[in-house]
Amino acid sequence: SQTIHQWPATLVQPVGSPLSLECTVEGTSNPNLYWYRQAAGRGLQLLFYSVGIGQISSEVPQNLSASRPQDRQFILSSKKLLLSDSGFYLCAWRTAEEAGGRDTQYFGPGTRLTVL
């Protein structure tokens, strides 16, 4: 079965410090990968998605970047964190293709980031 891991689970960082959040997927090959951010009490905002190694698409201009160095690894980074980067970061995966589009996005446990 497929599983998705994220770490760290929680993180408190000062403004201006760098960031690296990691997401790995097991039990599947060539997944589509996604990074979402969720502000407190709000819905999910798609930040980045990737359809393959080295292929990154950004959805919103921001202080963050993403990379996919391996098929099942997705990394979210920042060189200098801002207060507004605080939030709950969720990684998700889905199979690249499935008949009828019935494939579902499956989410990792998330990382709660607080920037002080």
Rule CB under 8 A: which residues touch other proteins? 32, 34, 41-44, 46, 49, 51, 57, 59, 88, 90, 92, 94, 96, 100-107, 109-110, 112
Rounded to a whole number of angstroms, the minimum distance from the CB of residue 18 to other proteins is 24
Residue whose CB is less far from other proteins, 80 or 114: 114
Of the two residues 51 and 53, which places its CB atom closer to other proteins in the complex? 51
CB within 8 A of 53, min separation 6: which ones?
68, 69, 70, 71
Q: Which is nearer to other proteins, 69 or 97 (CB)?
A: 97
Dig out the tokens for 42 from the structure.
Answer: 């709000």
- Provide the CB-side half-sphere exposure for 15 (13 A, CA): 4
The pair phi, psi for residue 101, each rounded to 5°, is 70, 25
